[in-house]
Amino acid sequence: QSALTQPPSVSGSPGQSVTISCTGTSSDVGSYNRVSWYQQPPGTAPKLMIYEVSNRPSGVPDRFSGSKSGNTASLTISGLQAEDEADYYCSLYTSSSLWVFGGGTKLTVL
């Protein structure tokens, strides 16, 4: 069982916005800003999309944004496109647990 809880699935139509949550506790997500998000289309390796809660690596579209409130981090994808269909994972580094992943969320573009 993952230490970080994600919804198993979310969906949206092209052009819409979707938000994927990643919930932990006051001891992990609530205390650390080393939250990152990864995109994994079927049959491919994960790709870093967001790091340190809200930073985008170069090359990642600004349609992808990250935030955190309390014990929950969120990834928002605006202007949904068919190519965004993938599994999304949150990850957190803490000094006690080192690196942990959420269970993953399957995004379906309707």
Partner 1 sequence: QVQLVESGGGVVQPGRSLRLSCAASGFTFSSYAMHWVRQAPGKGLEWVAVISYDGSNKYYADSVKGRFTISRDNSKNTLYLQMNSLRAEDTAVYYCARDKAPELRFFVAPGPFDYWGQGTLVTVSS
CB of 75 to partner 1, least distance (A): 13
The answer to whether 64 and 49 are in contact (CB under 8 A) is: yes
Which of 23, 24, 36, 77 is the binder for partner 1 (CB under 8 A)?
Answer: 36
CA contacts within 13 A on the Cβ side of 110: 9
Q: Does 60 bind partner 1 (CB under 8 A)?
A: no
Shortest Å, Cβ 16 to partner 1: 25
- Say how far residue 2 (Cα) sits from the centre of its chain: 14
Residue that is written with structure tokens 């932990």 in the block? 24
Question: What minimum distance in Å lies between the beta carbon of 46 and partner 1?
Answer: 6
